[in-house]
Structure 1
Amino acid sequence: MPIATVNPANGETLRTFDELGAEGIERRLATATAAFRTYRTTDLPERARLMARAADLLEQDEDAVARTMTTEMGKPLAAARAEAAKCVKAMRWYAGHAEILLADEHPSETEVKDSGASRARVHYRPLGVVLAVMPWNFPLWQVVRFAAPALMAGNTGLLKHASNVPQTALYLEDLFRRAGYPDGCFQTLLVGSGAVEAILRDPRVAAATLTGSEPAGRSVAAVAGEEIKKTVLELGGSDPYVVMPSADIDRAARTAVTARVQNNGQSCIAAKRFIVHTDVYDAFAERFTAGMAALTVGDPMADTTDVGPLASEQGRADLEELVDDAVRRGATALCGGQRPADLPRGWFYTPTVLAGITPDMRIHHEEAFGPVATLYRADSLDEAVALANDTPFGLSSNVWTRDAAEQERFVRDIEAGGVFFNGMTASHPALPFGGVKRSGYGRELSGHGIREFCNVTTVWHGAEPEDGA
């Protein structure tokens, strides 16, 4: 795939970039390694000052970088601005909390004595150069939620971004440079996916993090496993959105629309499978379908647009295949199910609700990455849980119920990295984020995220001799 900015709203190639060669990669690896040797000793207040400065600069750049994101991958401009603002928030959060999150931990006096020590503590040290392989769908946020904690922990970063968002990738390198970070602390590698293995195998790279597809995660995990290097993987998702009889159906249906079409439906944590108890199925289906059908599809730069184009022509083709397969096998399109006739240019797809889904349909098990929702009827709580878990993925989940006993049952039994009640899944810097099953492993954000790329060091002191001994 060429490294280029291609406007998904019209298919026009706006700018192309040369791929970094072997010499360029070596130069950046050497620079990142040298930077780590000194940056790792920088105290936390200085790291916080640099991160806060980067946040200030990003806040000033919000409109310009939002337009770049929209141009490169098609998200509505308002959503792009919100993404930039969210990055500012996360950067400031880590600048303000890292010292507490990385503070030494002290076992109890009894535990210290039992270990045979006079004193002991747990100390957090950075690992080194971390390679980040990042996707196009949240081209700023996905990177910042890695970079902010990794840099605050004292690591240095190498970014291999998706090939269709090169200008956003280069902006991030420039942002940290302008903030005053030492040369080499954060660098962008304009390389294709074929270059990742050699970079990851380089002994100067200590660890890797990847957000992306399941095949990409398998590839990186396999190489890292051979090299015995730490990885964090955030892969696909097919999140359930469960609606039980006690739910506020109007709110649940309105929120469901946003939960499905956020980022033009191209979000790992977007709700995709809508599992509704039979007692409220008809009411929810009517409201949800009406809300999806009422969305405005069009120019992502326009304030009136709700859903822009998919990021690539191949992405739309993949989505169409899933919908067409389901319809051929008996599913009903309650709305949508085709390209919008009034938008012949660009990679647009009409918001779609499919009902009558059966296990023999590909969309029952595969992730639909676009504005397509699947609707299921459940006769009981047990059936709702079973349907929610009938997926190879386990990123997050949404459950609408006001019954406390039902809530505890869903917390106990849903196989996912998060359970969000009476609202939609969203990431926040203070809360851990990640999944189970084929959605990956490890956690981003919160204290868990900043400690993923730390050497958790036990510091143990033997008994001190008494004076005169």
Structure 2
Amino acid sequence: MQQPTRLQDEAARLLARLGVDAALYGEGERAVRTPLTGETIGRVRDASAEEARDLIRKAHEAFLQWRRVPAPRRGEFVRLLGEELRAVKDDLGRLVTIEVGKVPSEGLGEVQEMIDICDFAVGLSRQLYGLTMGSERADHRMQEQWHPAGVVGVISAFNFPVAVWSWNAALAFVSGDAVVWKPSEKTPLTALAVQALTRRVIERFEEAPEHLSVLLLGDRATGEALVDDGRVPVLSATGSTAMGRAVGQRVAARFGRAILELGGNNASIVTPSADLDLALRAIAFGAVGTAGQRCTTLRRLFVHESVYDTLLPRLKRVYSTVSIGNPLDGDVLVGPLFEEAGFRAMEAALEAARAAGGTVHEGARVTEGLPEAAFYVRPALVEMPRQAGPMLVETFAPILYVVTYRELDEAIALQNGVAAGLSSSIFTTDMREADRFLSALGSDCGIANVNMGSSGAEIGGAFGGEKETGGGRESGSDAWKAYMRRQTNAINYGYAMPLAQGVRFDIADEDEGSADA
């Protein structure tokens, strides 16, 4: 029998402390590998399509009970979930680092996002407001109500294995919905941990039905069972644009509602008046953080020609000195790419950039002192003569393309000239430039920042983008409305029956004579 490795042992200890039964990750047909070393740290069993349908049925039955619970009580359930997360933050954050490869502060930051969205949702549970509208008919009142939608399906990606679930689940729970979660098949261990702590809250909370939160482990077939099930009126999917295009069409075919969080080919603009010290720090984190594997990663940089020769040498120094390595073994800023496919995509993009006239700085694989089965790379900085070739598509790796510009409108057009529309930013101390960038004539992205990078969104604002990013919104602001159904009510408190728009419909009544309908 093969002896467990150090990371396999540590993952098992963390999972045990987080309350996960060893039988759930000790055997199964699917191997779970850590990008830190490439080794197997667990094995899980996929749910069959039949099992998936049965669990969705149970979640639907749970919804029928949960919708009866008053919203503030549902908020109390989410408050307890946040308390569980606070208690396990260190362990769950560490597990995120092991399973995904994030540096420890980012693993902890992901769990903090979960805690923050629970806090947001608790307050929201007393603010699920509808509107009251004036009626054109005498003695009438109009209003809207928001009711629970049903079962909410969540399909999440490997790069944020637990936070994306919480953005959806916390809002869904306070909205009165049950949740069925299909995590990435590549990151099931963190999902098992989150499900275990959610189960603990369900067991403590008297009004919570057993299957309020359901976990489906599996591959594409399992995801398709969730996507196609008519008992799931709302489906949130995070991943590639190709995946979202397929999911969106299938959900629409059954008249479901899709919340799509897809690709992001994000850009920043550096103007002549920019604070270059501030810009440098923001650009570095946005472009190389999480090894370029965030949907909000900075991938394109448009620098005014007057400051290009000042900023670029400083960026090159950062790229040549940034620390690369196993996040568990030292104080490093950039961990590994998640898998070999990401490395191959990076190699292909850099070759395409060279063919398009680009000059590539850094970008090589780092192997010294690191496991051969893991994929560590130096982030790449690419000077391009113009926006072309690989700049027009998202490569999920740490590549930053840099182009000069002369006029702000030119830079905005370049930024907007790609298919995705997630995040964007501008560095300027000119108020007119900042406001133009934020206006209808400026960024066409769902997120537009001033004097900060494209990455690092807070849960208080709605998160999502336009165009091929999918158009969905999650997390803060009024994103909760996507998890509920709107009902418009008209109430007649008078004794006549006037119709809207002045329509008349008179009927004869044998007992009362003529009634004006």
Inter-partner Cα distance in structure 1 for 2:50 and 2:371: 43
TM-score by length of 1: 0.94
2 CA distance for matches of 1:197 and 1:357?
A: 43
Match of 1:414 among 440, 443, 446: 443
What is the one-letter code of the residue matched to 2:98? Answer: T
In the TM superposition, residue 117 of structure 1 has moved relative to its aligned partner by 5.5
State how far apart, in whole Å, the 2-side matches of 1:58 and 1:209 are. 22
Tell me the residue number matched to 1:285. 312
Instruction: After TM superposition, list the pairs within 5 Å mapping 1:116-265 onto structure 2.
Output: 118-180=140-202, 181-265=208-292
Q: Distance in 2 between matches of 1:403 and 1:272?
A: 24
Partner Cα separation in structure 1 for residue 99 and residue 50 of structure 2: 28
- Structure 2 distance, partners of 1:104, 1:280, is 50
In the other structure, the counterpart of 1:105 is 131
CA distance in 2, matches of 1:36, 1:290: 55
My pick for the range that moved more, 209-218 or 14-23, is: 14-23
One of 83, 89, 108 as aligned partner of 1:81: 108
- 1:92 and 1:240 map into 2 onto residues whose CA distance is 31
Kindly provide the amino acid, as one letter, of the partner of residue 155 in structure 1: D
Provide closer, same or farther for how the CA distance between residues 116 and 264 of structure 1 changes in structure 2, counting only shifts above 3 A.
Answer: farther
Which residue of structure 1 aligns with residue 505 of structure 2? none
Task: Answer yes or no: is the 8 Å Cα contact 2:48–2:222 preserved in 1.
Answer: no
Match of 1:271 among 282, 298, 305: 298
Aligned to 2:481, which of 441, 451, 457? Answer: 451
Aligned residues of 1:3 and 1:192 also touching (Cα < 8 A)? no
Equivalent residue number for residue 377 of structure 2: 349
Kindly indicate whether residue 47 of structure 2 is the aligned counterpart of residue 20 of structure 1. yes
What runs of 5+ residues in structure 1 fail to find an aligned partner?
none
Could you list the runs of 5+ residues in structure 2 that have no partner in the other structure? 1-28, 203-207, 497-517
**Residue type matched to 1:424 in 2?**
G
CA distance, structure 1, for counterparts of residue 397 and residue 295 of structure 2: 10
Q: Which amino acid aligns with 1:161?
A: P
1:446 and 1:67 mapped to 2: Cα distance?
Answer: 26
Q: Could you list the per-position Cα deviations for residues 280-309 of structure 1 after superposition, in whole angstroms to 9, with x for gaps in the alignment? A: 111111112212222110012234010000
The aligned amino acid for 1:243 is V
Per-residue deviation, residues 425-449 of structure 1 (Å, max 9, x unmatched): 3322221111111111121122421
Q: How far apart are residue 176 of structure 1 and its match?
A: 1.5
- One-letter amino acid of the structure 1 residue matched with residue 485 of structure 2: N
Query: Cα RMSD between the aligned structures?
Result: 1.7
Q: Aligned ranges for residues 328-343 of structure 1 at < 5 Å? A: 328-334=355-361, 336-342=362-368, 343=370
**Residues 432 and 449, structure 1, Cα contact 8 Å, conserved in 2:** yes
Structure ranking higher on relative contact order (CA contacts 8 Å, 6+ apart) = 1
Q: Which residue of 1 aligns with 2:491?
A: 461
Return the alpha-carbon distance in structure 1 between the equivalents of residues 352 and 304 of structure 2.
26
TM-score after normalising by structure 2: 0.86
CA pair 167-116 structure 1, distance change in 2 beyond 3 A: farther
- 1:29-48 CA distance string (max 9 Å, x none): 12101100010111122111
Contact 2:180 2:213 in 1 (8 A): yes
Alpha-carbon distance between aligned partners in 2 of 1:281 and 1:423, rounded to the nearest angstrom: 18
- Separation in 2, partners of 1:115, 1:154: 33
Instruction: Give 2:394's aligned residue.
Output: 367
Q: Is the Cα contact below 8 Å between 2:387 and 2:403 reproduced in 1?
A: no
* Structure 2 letter corresponding to 1:218: R
Check 1:61–1:115 CA distance in 2 against 1; reply closer, same or farther (3 A cut). farther
Contact persistence 1:207–1:453 (CA under 8 A): yes
Contact 1:237 1:269 in 2 (8 A): yes
Structure-2 residue corresponding to 1:322:
349
Question: Percent same amino acid at aligned positions?
Answer: 28
Instruction: Find the partner of 2:79 among 52, 77, 80.
Output: 52
Work out whether residues 76 and 302 of structure 1, in 8 Å CA contact, stay in contact via their aligned partners in 2.
no
Do the aligned partners of 1:123 and 1:459 also contact (CA within 8 Å) in 2? yes
